Structure formats: structure tokens, C-alpha cells
Chain A
């Protein structure tokens, strides 16, 4: 058997592709569901936390900083294992899917909070002054003047972060969420062949390359020049 045949046989064995593509497709669907759920809840929660922090209420600010720093410091896998194997012992029974969704949402929320907060603090004081001088209260100035600008500044780092964290849905394979990688590793151990893993890689590309492109589009769409 020549090198090329061996390569094809290892990564793209036709019989295995045929056998496992439905499973990989199912996995893609699960991955899409988790990723979408994580993006929505993570971004929304992170934005909410940044807004709360803007009010500079000491105990709340400290609580937010503490949670955010811990979530950013720990590897997501540690959090997933901790939640999945720890929580049942204190009477909280969550499905693997739910654990993955909650943990990744929390992590994305933590990064989102930091990025949006950085955006808020980088808006010049004159913007607040202008808004307040036309009768906006603090909340109005925040919502209508400062946040729209802060969010535009946050979009490039936020897109990167969002993509990086949604890719972590692959960690769900460890606790048995039937997403792409989980399906692939199961098949791989049954067959003793890397073809299912190569299929998984292709599936991830199919899912995330469009997301990366969309991210780039959003960045240019919402980029705007400062006066």
C-alpha cells in the first residue's frame, strides 16, 4: 500500500464516511443548538453585567469582578467537570447539555462583561456631559449615547471571543453531550480509524468558517470613524 492510499485509508475511508455521516450530521445539529444558546445567553448576560457595573454600586461591582475573574482564569473544562460531577452531590441534577450550555454561557458572559466594560470606560467623559446637558439621566445617557458606542468598540474583540468560546462546545464530548466530537470519538474507538475525526474536523469547518466570515462582516458593518 502506497503512502497516498494509506493516507486516504486513515482519514477518509469511504466505507466509514458512509457509515458515520448521519451521526456526524446529528452531532452538528446538537453543536449548533448549544452554540446558538451559548451565544445568546452569554452575550446578553455579559452585556447586562457590564451595564450593572456602570452604576458603580460597590458590593455589586466587587461581586461581578470576582465572578468574572474566576471564570476567565479557570479552564472551561475544569468548570464543566466540576459542574457535571459536583452538582449532583448537592442535589442539583442537570443534563450534560444543560451543564455545557450554562458553563460556556457563564464563561462567554465573563469575557463579554470585561470587553463591554472596557468599551464603556473608553468613551470620553464629554459624551456623558453632552447627554446629561440635554436632559438625559444616567440610564438614558448610558443606553442611548454610551452603550451604542461602547458596543461598536467591543465588536471586534467580542467576535473573536465568541468564536473561541463556542468552539469549546467540543468539550461537551467529555461529559457525553452528543455533539460532533462526541460522535466522532465514539466511532473512532469502535473502528480504530481516524476517519470519523477527520469528518468531525470538516464538520467544524463547515460550522465555524461561515461564523468567522460573518464576524468579519459584522466588524466592517459596524466599524465607524470617531469624530
Chain B
């Protein structure tokens, strides 16, 4: 899958991030190719969320570059809002808009950012909800949806904008175990449809099955990366070994 010919979609170059005096990311270099699914794992506080949030500049990198589909997000002339909608993001806490229905959540940016007509936006939003198996719940408010359904609406909200790449920050860790499967299967479908994805998650079984590559982050540095069988099966660094053993037991 990650053949050398594949076009890079997300390039992270020498990325650093400091909060005050604490250096949370210490020079990250990472390239994600078109249609690739990269799993980002690492201990709590290792900087996974920060790295992901730097990839659409929700968090402002201290130095370095993030290049998405050839556009440097850090370049002064870049329209960051226009770029952000091409970078879908899914959050651990879903972050659905509680005052809007599922359909309203998905169509809001279509209408107000892309300035689509209501009819057009609704049609696009319905199609996106259909993709995640929630067409029937279009009229429901987030409070009336299960966690798994809420997260799938959040995925549809990102998908509706036809992103070039999708970022997932622990999409299933706020869910009851029995609801995890529905979200993973939506992600599986996206992968099958050729979406480029970066996933922070501790679902190692899913990583083994679906990921092209696993990146292990520790203390703000990439310690190890490679195919899932290698990083998860025979990790070389002591830290990765301990971390994975911990998760599996």
C-alpha cells in the first residue's frame, strides 16, 4: 500500500510544539501517503493529540511545517480555514452541536462555509449520514443518540466536506465497549473507499487488521514505526514493548 509511488497527502516536517517551557513535540517527521491508514500510538501525555491538532493548526506549532496535499499550512499566504475543511477531524468527545439535529450538524458547514443552498446541503448531509448507517436518525438531536451514533454523526460531519485526509483522536475511547464496533466499521468502510487516515487509538486489534503503518510516539518523538505486524508484534524499543504489553494484557 505505501509504495514509493504513492502521493504524499500529509507531510509533517521537523514539527515542534512547546507549551510554555515544556517541549511536547520534539521534531516530528512523518509522511502519510494517499489512501494510507496510519495508526498513532503511545503512552498518555506522549503528544499524540497535540501532533494531530497541529496537523490542522487547531494547535499552533512552535516550529516546523505541515503540508497537506502540497499546501504548506504554515505558509503566510495559506487560507487556513479553506485548508481545515479539507482535513476532517473526529474527536474523542464527538463534539456534536447539541442545538442541532444530526442532519443540522452535518449540513451546517456545507451551508455556512461552502454557502450551499439548504436543499443541496441537506442532500449532501443525508448522503454522508447514509455512509455511516444513520440516514434513519437524521432528525434526532445528539442527546437522543447513543455514543456510537453520535460519533458516526461526527464522522459524517467531517466526511460531508469531502476531506483529503481524516484525523481521528481516540474516536472510540469514550464509548461503551458494545458501541465501539459500529464506529470501527464506519472507519473500515472509509478505508475501503480510499480515504487517507491518521488514527490515534488504542484499538490494537483494529490496527493489526486495518492499518498500513503504526507509529509509536513517546515523549514527543517517534520512537518506532513500521507495519503493524512489526511494531505491534516485535517492537524493538523497550518503551514500545512495555507499552504494547501493557495494552494487550
Contact = CB atoms under 8 A, between A and B. Distances in A.
B6 interface: no
Interface stretch (A38-46, A133-141, A163-171, A192-200): A133-141
B25 interface: no
B99 A135 contact: no
Contacts, number: 81
A212 interface: no
B143 A136 contact: no
B196 interface: no
A132 B99 CA distance: 17
Contacts of A124: 93, 95
A134 B150 contact: no
State which size class the interface on B falls in. Answer: 20 to 34
Contact of A136 (B89, B94, B113): B113
Interface stretch (B10-18, B26-34, B78-86): B78-86
B112 A149 contact: no
B98 A224 contact: yes
A227 interface: yes
B97 A127 contact: yes
A110 B16 CA distance: 43
A225 interface: yes
Interface residues of A, number: 22
Instruction: Summarize A's interface: helix, strand, loop or mixed.
Output: helix
B97 A130 contact: yes
A144 B58 contact: no
A137 B81 contact: yes
Contacts of B112: 136, 140, 144
B129 to A, nearest CB: 15
B152 interface: no
Contact of A132 (B84, B96, B114, B141): B84
B98 A145 contact: no
Q: Which of A132, A137, A149 has the most CB of B within 10 A?
A: A132
Contact of B99 (A126, A129, A140, A149): A149
A227 B98 contact: yes
B85 A135 contact: yes
A53 interface: no
Of all A-B residue pairs in the complex, the 6 with the closest CB atoms, nearest first, are: A135-B85, A227-B142, A134-B109, A130-B95, A126-B95, A133-B89
Interface of A: 124, 126-127, 129-137, 140, 144-145, 148-149, 152, 224-227
Given A129-B58, A132-B58, A224-B98, 9 more contacts: A124-B95, A129-B95, A130-B157, A133-B58, A133-B85, A134-B85, A149-B97, A227-B96, A227-B142
Interface of B: 53, 56, 58, 81-82, 84-85, 87-89, 91, 93-99, 108-109, 112-114, 141-143, 145, 150, 154, 157-158, 161
